[in-house]
Every structure is written in C-alpha cells, then in structure tokens.
Structure 1
C-alpha cells in the first residue's frame, strides 16, 4: 500500500512540475508576443494620442476662423452691393 502512495506522490510531483513549466512557457510566450507586437506597431506610422489631439484642436481653430472669414465676406459683399444702389439713388452725392 505504501508503494502505491509513493507512486502517486511521484506522479503528483511530476504533474505539478509539468504544470509549473507549462505556466512559465505560457508567460514567456505572452511576453515574447507582446514585444513582437510592440516592435511591429512601433514600425508603423501611427500617430500618438497627443499629436492627434493637437491636430484636432488646430483643425477646430481653422474651422472657426473659416466661419469668421465667411461671415466677414458676406458682410463686405452686402455693403458692396448696397453702395451702388445708394449711388444710383443719389447721383450727385460724393462716393
């Protein structure tokens, strides 16, 4: 009976060793894969979050400036269109 227990004890020890080894292999494989992915992604021309936010802010400022310029052009065009009508109404008035 004692020999069977010893056999099972040895088998359990061996299985624990295999499980520990497999866990170590899994961790090593995961670490290696992460490093390879980092290198692969690092080699691509991805934009960082801070650069993306800076360009996004600049684009928003450019849109705001564009809208302001459109409004200014519309105002100037309205004034320009009103001037000839006023000149036709008062032909003797200085321009």
Structure 2
C-alpha cells in the first residue's frame, strides 16, 4: 500500500509548474529572437531565396535572347556588307 506524502506531492507540482514555465519562457525567447531577426533582415533589405532564383532564371532567359539577337544582327551585317 502506498502512502501519500504531501511534501513529495507539492514538490512534484512545483517541478511540473517550473518545467511549464521554463518551456513557455523558451518559446517566448525563440519568438522574440525570430522577430528580431526578421526586423534586421528587413532593415538590410535582403532578398528571399525564391526571388533570387526567379531573377536568375529570368536573367538566363534574357541573356539567351540577347545572344540570339546579337547573332541575328551579326548575320544581317555580314549579309548586307557582302556585294
């Protein structure tokens, strides 16, 4: 048969409350750190990875189009200069 010890019951409740408080404080600190990091990123005017990848893709397409236009122009210039 087990006996209830009020001291151990109170210690268990206190420990449980302390663990809950520590967990809540950790989550609050994590949220504050994330908020601070977002604010700093906004101040530095950083670009998101998705936006950078989209710009790189667009730039590659524009470079290909420019190369094609230059080749077309070079073909026209050699065609008009030949008698």
TM-score (norm 2): 0.71
5 Å-filtered alignment, 1:1-95, equals: 5-48=5-48, 49-50=50-51, 53-54=54-55, 56-57=57-58, 59-80=59-80, 82-83=82-83
Q: 2:5 is paired with a residue of what secondary structure?
A: helix
Q: Which has the larger radius of gyration?
A: 1
After superposition, the C-alpha distances for 1:36-63 in whole angstroms (9 at most, x for unaligned) are: 1110111112124447625741x23432
- In the alignment, structure 1 segments of 5+ residues that lack a partner are 84-95
Q: How many residues align?
A: 81
TM-score (norm 1): 0.64
Higher relative contact order (CA 8 A, sep 6+): 1
Q: How much is the aligned-residue C-alpha RMSD, in angstroms?
A: 2.7
